[in-house]
Amino acid sequence: MSVNVGRRLKEAGIKWVEEDAENKDVYVPTDEMKEKAYFSDERIYAEANNNPEEFWAKQAKELIYWFDEWDADKVVNLEPPYFNWFVGNGTNLSYNCLDRHLEENRNKAAIIWEPEPEDEAHEVLTYMDIYREVNKFANVLKHLGVKKGSPVTIWMPMIPETAIAALACQRIGAWHSIVYTAFAPHAVRERMEDAGSKILITVDGFYRRGKIIELKKRIDEGEILEKVGAENCVVVRRANSEVGMKEGRDHYYDKLMKDAEAYCEPEVITSNDYGFLLYTSGTTGKPKAVMHSCGAYSVGVALTMKLVADLHPDDLFWSTADIGWITGHSYALYGPLLIGATVLWYEGAPDYPDVSRWWGIIEKYGVTIFYTAPTAIRALRAAGDEWIEGHDFSSLRLLASVGEPIDPDTWKWFFEKIGESRCPLVDTYWQTETGGILLSSLPGIGPFVPGVAGPALPGVRYDVLDANGEPVKQEESGYLVVKPPFIPSMLRGLYKNPEKYVEEYWSRYGTDTYFSGDGAIKTGMEIGGQTLIKVTGRIDDVMEVAGHRLGTAELEEVVQDLEEVVDVAVVGKQDAIKGEVPALFVVLEKGVEKSNEDMDREIVKAVRDKVGPVATPEVTYYVSDLPETESGKIIRRFLKGLVRNELLGDMTTARNPECLKELAEVTQYRGPQKIPGYTGTAHLGNE
């Protein structure tokens, strides 16, 4: 099968059109790609933007099955900063992902699962398979006391039961809160406490880089279930590793499933209900729970699946993102199943047993659409082209990237080596908060410009504003914002934290302008009257480490808690593979006897225990003072400039600018700013 698909699609693709003075390559889709794509006429932008509500209403009717139609005159109810789409609707995500495909596609593969151990057989789950298991598990959850609106914490890897658990929550209207497996048990605890979750679904263990990661054991070692007063813990047996099971509280998934009833009526989820919670890092303190809707979220996800991923029912879609992140939710689970396509899930690491694993998977199953992150592409590219040689990529017809800006070098390598210079490569910009893709060129319309995300989706009003809220001119930079009526898939609020919701997104420019937190440039290029945007990255204190969002404040809290630490500041340092890595500046207590190496070990341990391995600091600089404002606020922009060898900016804003000399020394600053007293040779060589 894959051979035929490959041959047919080989014709599709994109062609190179021009190279302008700035050496920007611009690509457009070929006629074959246009023919295949759902959307290939740029007039869609004008049509949708003339009347966004009508556009979204039309899409909503086509893409989603509604038990209750919404009020015809209430497509969106705007009460900034709150809004509600398709008011009066009733729907269910599990019904839309499963039940409605049964009649025609009962036996079609929904999820193809590739376990990490190569000697273990892959599994194919049909729509009927998942439907059956989801119904049963929904009944299990009900028996355990889970109701509509109950938070259910899931700490699970990329295995089929994770999809089943999430869809079972959707079926009964419970809110899943899925925690990334590379976070620490402590992070599970924080999220369970914050949400008031009384149930955890996890696994005995799973495979990662040839090792078994024992999740339940780690939960027990941290006494997490006791600390949060959990009433139930469901344990899926994946690795058959030894686990402790507490009578009455801990249950094996397979045992519960044995006696579960076969059918569970899907709950009607309305426009006033929520669909799920997902914790994400912000600018201060602890992660907060983004609340998503059900129906409006599904519309955004299903539409982008067609618009941007051009997902057809005969495609095999692979999003490499983990289910613990929004990309995993929207594009590894709900999106593909809403469309009735087939999605690939892979349990393990990209470089196990060697760095050709992903390329082998694409070839083995005939993946047609491949969605991944720049950090992964950079890592696989750095390993050397010999790992891709001999692999057959002819099944691929579209590539997509997400998580951070993809630099033109990486873009070209991905495009040429994996996409064989014929697959469009779309750079999709979005956030946990937007639920689905916000900016991207469309595969059948283009253009595809390395380093440039593209315009917003049709029907989305967006802009780049300066500090005063004025739109910037073409080729100038500012902050990316979204204007009313926003997009249906956007967050509905932050759970139990309305103040923070307003502060993070609606305070910079007022409540009718959504502030993304990202810097952006208007490129001067247009499609369908819409300006293509280049996103430059976060302007707040949020880092993107290997595409994973981390708040500097979160790490600071953990390190600050150590006895020897007086003060700490964390900034993102550039990294060739991971994009950004955490760099720490630490002021130690006077007279600490431990060596810096011992302190390093302690700090790394604390971070790994409290936040998780994803947040492991790259480097810690021990210094005697940190630059502060008169009011005692640490000036992070100096620290960022130092580790990135960039300009620091006006140093007179600091109460104690003299400390910068020492900081420049420890960081071996080589940037353009002159720092009084600092005579680092590297700096002088740079002048």
* Sites of contact with ligand WT7 (CB under 6 A): 280, 326-327, 402-405, 427-432, 453, 516-518, 535, 537-538, 544, 549
Contact 470, 442 (CB under 8 A): no
Question: In angstroms, what is the minimal distance from the CB of 221 to ligand WT7?
Answer: 28
Nearer to ligand WT7, 270 or 431 (CB): 431
Nearer to ligand WT7, 81 or 90 (CB): 81
Nearer to ligand WT7, 348 or 405 (CB): 405
- The amino acid that residue 194 corresponds to is D
Nearer to ligand WT7, 333 or 402 (CB): 402
Nearer to ligand WT7, 161 or 404 (CB): 404
Question: In angstroms, what is the minimal distance from the CB of 47 to ligand WT7?
Answer: 25
DSSP 260-273: --S--PPPPEETTS
Question: In angstroms, what is the minimal distance from the CB of 434 to ligand WT7?
Answer: 7
Nearer to ligand WT7, 93 or 520 (CB): 520
- What letters, b where the CB count within 10 A reaches 16 and e where it falls short, cover 445-484? bbbbbbbbbbbbbbbbebbbbeeeeeebeeeeebbbbbbe
List the Cα angle 102/106/109 in 5-degree steps.
125
Question: In angstroms, what is the minimal distance from the CB of 500 to ligand WT7?
Answer: 15
DSSP 475-523: T-EEEEEEETT--TTS--EETT-HHHHHHHHSSSS-TTSEEEEEEEEEE
Q: For residue 154, what are the contacts with CB-CB under 8 A and spacing of at least 6?
A: 162, 165, 166, 169, 176, 177, 178, 179, 200, 201, 202
Nearer to ligand WT7, 298 or 667 (CB): 298
* Dihedral pair phi/psi, residue 211, rounded to 5°: -105, 160
List the Cα angle 213/219/222 in 5-degree steps.
120
Written as six digits, the tokens of 111 are 């999820």
Nearer to ligand WT7, 250 or 404 (CB): 404
Question: In angstroms, what is the minimal distance from the CB of 536 to ligand WT7?
Answer: 8
Nearer to ligand WT7, 251 or 538 (CB): 538
Question: In angstroms, what is the minimal distance from the CB of 406 to ligand WT7?
Answer: 7
Helix, strand, or coil here: 291? strand
Nearer to ligand WT7, 225 or 338 (CB): 338
Question: In angstroms, what is the minimal distance from the CB of 151 to ligand WT7?
Answer: 20
Written as six digits, the tokens of 374 are 């720049």
Nearer to ligand WT7, 14 or 402 (CB): 402
Written as six digits, the tokens of 130 are 């998942």
Question: In angstroms, what is the minimal distance from the CB of 321 to ligand WT7?
Answer: 7
CB atoms under 10 Å from CB of 687, counted, come to: 6
Nearer to ligand WT7, 153 or 372 (CB): 372
Question: In angstroms, what is the minimal distance from the CB of 327 to ligand WT7?
Answer: 4
* Dihedral pair phi/psi, residue 635, rounded to 5°: -90, 95
Nearer to ligand WT7, 235 or 299 (CB): 299
Question: In angstroms, what is the minimal distance from the CB of 471 to ligand WT7?
Answer: 20
Torsion of CA 620, 559, 378, 451, to 10 degrees: -100
Nearer to ligand WT7, 402 or 482 (CB): 402
Question: In angstroms, what is the minimal distance from the CB of 135 to ligand WT7?
Answer: 30
Query: Pairing mode, if any, of strands 175-178 and 276-280?
Result: parallel
Question: In angstroms, what is the minimal distance from the CB of 431 to ligand WT7?
Answer: 4
Backbone region of residue 352 per phi and psi (left: phi > 0; alpha: psi in -120 to 50; beta: other values): beta
Nearer to ligand WT7, 25 or 267 (CB): 25
CB atoms under 10 Å from CB of 555, counted, come to: 25
Question: In angstroms, what is the minimal distance from the CB of 51 to ligand WT7?
Answer: 27
Residue located via tokens 């420019």: 509
Nearer to ligand WT7, 116 or 544 (CB): 544
Nearer to ligand WT7, 29 or 551 (CB): 551
Report how far apart, in Å, the C-alpha atoms of 258 and of each of 21, 133, 238, 552 are: 67, 11, 17, 45
Question: In angstroms, what is the minimal distance from the CB of 601 to ligand WT7?
Answer: 29
Query: Counting every residue, how long is the chain?
Result: 687
CA dist 513 and 498 (Å) reads 17
Contact 303, 334 (CB under 8 A): no
Question: In angstroms, what is the minimal distance from the CB of 414 to ligand WT7?
Answer: 13
Candidates 423, 307, 312, 298; CA nearest to 372 is: 423
Residue located via tokens 């740029």: 42
Inter-residue long-range contacts of 533-536, CB under 8 Å, 24+ positions, other chains counted: 533/429, 533/439, 533/452, 533/453, 533/454, 533/455, 533/456, 533/462, 533/464, 533/480, 534/405, 534/451, 534/452, 534/453, 535/405, 535/429, 535/439, 535/453, 535/480, 536/405, 536/477
Question: In angstroms, what is the minimal distance from the CB of 164 to ligand WT7?
Answer: 23
Question: In angstroms, what is the minimal distance from the CB of 544 to ligand WT7?
Answer: 5
- What letters, b where the CB count within 10 A reaches 16 and e where it falls short, cover 131-152? bbbbbbbbbbbbebebeeebbb
CA dist 346 and 361 (Å) reads 9
